[in-house]
Amino acid sequence: MFFAPFGGAGAGGERYVRIADMHNHNRDEYEKEILSLYKKIKPEITKRISEFRKIWKEADNDALFTELSFCLFTPQSSARQCWKAVNILLEKNLLFDGHWEEIAQEINIVRFRNNKAKYLVEARGRFLCGDGIRECLDLHADARERRNWLARNVKGMGYKEASHFLRNIGLGQNLAILDRHILKNMKLLGVIDKIPDTITGKIYLELEEKLEAYSKESGIPMEHLDFVLWYKEAGEVFK
């Protein structure tokens, strides 16, 4: 192939084409990697989703609140550490009864622990002393309505955390959990051009729509896709 000399006529255009071709090649190779990974871990994902659906069918309000607490802890924190923090609170009988200051003291492995301890106590007052989580969610017909309700009514819970919670109790079909791992992979796959500096509710829904389109194109269901992209970064199927 002939390329014009550097700085000559058409040089900028030729360089642009080469860079674009390289990006497309990298994206295609990355997509093959994702599809191969999905084939490998699909049985594990299916098993995990089945476990989540069982939670909604069988769990009592305390078990649902435990999952809610985990999701309240997760912003800008390790999922593993957040689940460890929840279990510490359970072991010390603080999750359902502790004052926020007692809770904050025990969850120093979670970022912004004071605020998150307060969010937990406020949510606990609503769901354990008033209507239960199941009763509140049953008032809404589909996953997106349930997510909207959670984001409006549970302090500390945005679309991402609400989507995560609903997925973890078996109600999150077709919802995206747009954490940094997922956004990074969306960019690598060419689903988005750049990762937004801030994500408003409107932007979140636009990103979710793009991921849903990729889900249909790739043949990986939305509730599976999150696990695949998260596994690519974290190396495990977790929560």
Cα separation, 198 vs 189, in Å, equals: 20
- DSSP conformational letter for 236: S
Closest CA to 55 of 223, 227, 170: 170
Q: Which two tokens stand for residue 158?
A: 């945005």
What residues have CB less than 8 Å from 165, skipping those under 6 apart? 67, 68, 71, 150, 157, 172
160 assigned to active site:
yes
Cα separation, 88 vs 148, in Å, equals: 30
- Selecting among 116, 160, 232, 239, the annotated active-site residue is 160
Identity of residue 187 = K
Q: Which two tokens stand for residue 28?
A: 């295609």
Residue showing tokens 């476990």: 51
- φ, ψ for residue 196, nearest 5 deg: -60, 145
Alpha carbon of residue 167 to chain centroid? 9
Contact 81, 195 (CB under 8 A): no
Cα separation, 72 vs 65, in Å, equals: 10
Cα separation, 218 vs 34, in Å, equals: 10
Q: Which residues are known to be catalytic?
A: 160, 179
